[in-house]
Structure 1
Amino acid sequence: MLAGTCSFSAGSLASPTFSPATQLPAGTWVDLSEDLCDVAEETHRYLSQGHAYDPATIHGGTTPWLNTPAERIKDTLTFICEVVAQDAQAGRSSRLTDPEFIQQHFEIIRWSPDQQRAQQLSEGKPLLQRLPADRLLLTKYYVRLTDGQTAPSAATPHALYGLPHDEAQLSLEQADARRDQITRYRYGKQAIVAMETSPQPPTRLSDLAPPLIWLSRDDLEGALLQGTAVVNEPGGQRRYFNVHRNNGIAYDRTRRPEEQERYWYFKEVPGVLGYGKDADYKIPIRPKVTVAGDIFQLGLGRLILLRTQEHGEPVFRLTLLADTGGAFHDNLYQLDWLSGYYRDWDDYHRHNRHIGDYAEAWLLLKR
């Protein structure tokens, strides 16, 4: 057996479980209640569009182990902001950091990970091979701060492209109905990168789609992976870009990010955005109170309490499930925590290396 691989048989690994809990363990609570309320309000607004607007995510859960009336998720989001407003008016510290208040006013559901699915995907991934039975894998993503150019250069040969011209005026449904005719579905990422770096390519994507900003290869990969880029232009202007529509190729979790064929077209936006079925309406999110996960099985807008190890000590954080990504289809073993704004992975690691790779997790619902 290779060193570091898991010795459990498939039959001994557990499926995900969601079980009632009445008590929370000890730990320090981080107070970011106002930011949490901001994301709760925006997520509630999205959910209020109704199930028919986005049936894939506006629901109370589709798994055999968890099914919540969708209205309870909305009621929970409303309650968060009511508590924040009452605490501010009374001039007291947030009751959302008081474990006794949490235990009194919320139904608490302990989430244990899907070890079977994690093991199926664990080859070459030590964190999945070592996944505990009682904790989720907690990865961290970030909003990438980059330096972009308005024109291509040797240092910035790769663009974030807006929607190709042949679908710029089409709704998502109209564009998808022409899947075999439009530019977006014609090219994988490797072909697009080759167009930009070849001296004389037969086709240039810049002839078919508008380049929004020009980046280095590292910054392009960061933007595609994170879904968002915050770009500082030479004149000092800061611009925000968010994923718009992709080329229909699934993210392959067995390949490195730079080897992927999945490719995103972007849209300039006023701030950092999370989930939305199309770029015309996405949820504004904030760092440290937002997690990405399997909204397709859990339902969008879940209030999730995390207990992480930070500097070796237990820390509680309230977060909202308001984002997702290509890695979160059929994934009930992992959450991805929006950790902040950083220039690169080195900057990110300096600020987050004290936070553990796994977290206990509870779903909270207003009683």
Structure 2
Amino acid sequence: MKFNVLLSFLVCAIYSTHLLANAFSISKQTPPTSLKINTDSDKLCQVADNTLAYRALGNAYDPAVIHANKLSQFGITEKDIERTLKSLCEFAKHDDMNKTHQLTNFEFLTKHYDFYRISSDTKHAKKLSNKKPLLKNLSADKVLMTKYYVHLASGSDSKTTETPFPLYALPFDEHHLSLEEANTQKHLTRFKYGKQAILGGVIDAKKLAKPLVYLSREDLESALLQGTIVVDIKGQQRVYNVHRNNGIAYDRAIKPYLQNRYWYFKQVDGILGYGKDADHKIEVLPEVTFAGDIYQLGLGALVFAQFDFKSHSEYRMAVMADTGGAFENNLYQLDYLAGSYPGINAYYDANRHMPDYIDAWFMVLKGDAQ
């Protein structure tokens, strides 16, 4: 009897250790110091400042992301995230004054920051890995890095054969409502229809919302997937960003064209990342922005990542300032804002050298750093 109990205990212990090894975790570990750091400090500062401005709205405004949640389990607090973001602009200013590059100097970084190596939640990734080799081949010591871009499209102010699909503004029946007010009224147009019904023409037939611009199906899908689109209309460019969605979750088990999640849009001035409503969104920049699961990790964590290219390796830094439907309950992936391109082929040509997996750390300003 004692032997059986002991055997059961050992089996449980081994099983628990196996699960822990495949779950998300972070541990304090300094990266190897031999590689070059390739990050634009000024752009990193801009995104950090914009993210801080959103966090300043407070937990009461957006409790879903203004927190430290999972990171707090490993000793990283909300205050740590904010102090770290503030430090980036302080050190970027010093760069200008002293003609040095402090944020790209490894000795400087290790003096002022702690590094926490990320272990991916491969246990969850494997459950979704059927016919997805990138997930199937993901190891716990790596993070899957996908890339996203701002889509450049040609559009029209009226429906044409080439551009038959409208990008809609918020439906008329909630123009006067705040997001909080609208979300309590499930009878509104926004909650009634999935993407397939909208593509079938129900919004136009009932005149429920204003078309902002007309696009091809490919360009519309890019806008819905990425959240931002730049549209060229007779030589002039307009930027559109997501406003509010229909409350249907993105289903990773089905293809993008068959999804029923749908976004309504708003014309904006620049590339925008996360924000629970169009009135407060974070302006982001390519190559210093990651999208990820900010619902679990909190908005604004600073990621230090090793990019392994064919000919060399280098480090880059970026702020987690964006998210998307694919990042709900996703602690194994980060999405890198690569730039702006006129289509998927141009994007692939410019980014085919980028790695699919990265070594990644969270950077946190040390408690005694100034």
Residue 140 (structure 2) pairs with residue 141 (structure 1): no
Counterparts of 2:72 and 2:289, CA distance in 1:
25
Structure 2: which amino acid aligns with 1:185? F
Q: Within the alignment, does 1:169 sit opposite 2:168 as a pair?
A: no
Partner of 1:19: 27
For 1:37 and 1:206, the matched residues in 2 are separated by: 46
Q: Deviations over 1:23-56 (max 9, x none)?
A: 4353232131110000011111111111111111
CA distance in 1, matches of 2:348, 2:203: 39
Aligned equivalents of 1:337, 1:23: Cα separation in 2: 20
**Hey, what's the Cα distance between the residues in 2 that align with 1:176 and 1:52?**
16
SS at match of 1:108: strand
| Percent of aligned pairs with the same amino acid | 46
| Shift, 1:315, TM fit | 1.6
1:91 aligns with 2:90: no
1:182 aligns with 2:188: yes
Bigger helix fraction: 2
Q: Aligned partners of 1:19, 1:323: CA distance in 2, in Å?
A: 24
Residues 312-354 of structure 1, C-alpha deviations (whole Å, 9 max, x = no match): 4212100000000001111110000000001111000111100
Instruction: Specify the code of the residue in structure 2 equivalent to 1:53.
Output: Y
Q: Which position in structure 1 is the counterpart of 2:90?
A: 82
- In the alignment, what sits opposite 1:204? 204
The structure having more radius of gyration, on CA atoms, is 2
Q: Distance in 1 between the 2:311 and 2:259 partners?
A: 35
| Residues 1-367 of structure 1 mapped to structure 2, 5 A cutoff | 14-62=22-70, 65-92=73-100, 94-179=101-186, 181-195=187-201, 204=204, 207-234=207-234, 236-367=235-366
Runs (5+) with no aligned partner, structure 1: 1-8, 196-201
TM-score for the superposition, normalised by structure 1: 0.92
Q: Give, in angstroms, the shift of residue 259 of structure 1.
A: 0.9
Change (3 A) 1:37 1:203: closer
Distance in 2, Cα, partners of 1:317 & 1:268: 31
Question: Residues 258 and 275 from structure 1, CA distance in 2 versus in 1: closer, same or farther, beyond 3 angstroms?
Answer: same
Alpha-carbon distance in structure 2 between the residues aligned to 1:145 and 1:365: 35
Instruction: Give 3-state SS (helix, strand or coil) of 1:124's partner.
Output: coil
Query: 1:76-96 deviations in whole A, cap 9, x for unaligned?
Result: 11110001001101222x211
Question: Deviations for 1:81-124, whole angstroms, at most 9, x for unmatched residues?
Answer: 001001101222x2111111111110110001000010111111
Relative to structure 1, the CA distance from residue 206 to residue 31 in structure 2 (aligned partners, 3 Å threshold; closer, same or farther) is farther
Confirm or deny: 8 A CA contact 2:71 2:77 kept in the other structure: no
Give the distance between the partners of 1:66 and 1:280, measured in 2 at CA: 33
1:3 aligned residue: none
Assess if the C-alpha contact under 8 Å between 2:115 and 2:361 holds in 1.
yes
Partner letter of residue 223 of structure 1? Answer: A
Residue aligned with 1:282, SS:
coil
Aligned-partner residue type, residue 330 of structure 1: N
User: Does the Cα contact within 8 Å between 1:24 and 1:99 map onto a contact in 2?
Assistant: no
C-alpha change, 1:347 and 1:23, in structure 2 (3 Å) is: closer
Asked if structure 1 preserves the Cα contact closer than 8 Å seen for 2:163 and 2:214, the reply is yes
The letter of the residue matching 1:314 is S
Please list every run of 5 or more consecutive structure 2 residues that lacks an aligned counterpart in the other structure.
1-14
Once the two structures are TM-superposed, the CA of residue 16 in structure 1 deviates from its matched residue by: 1.1
Amino acid at match of 1:346: N
> Does the residue aligned with 1:204 lie in a helix, a strand or coil?
helix
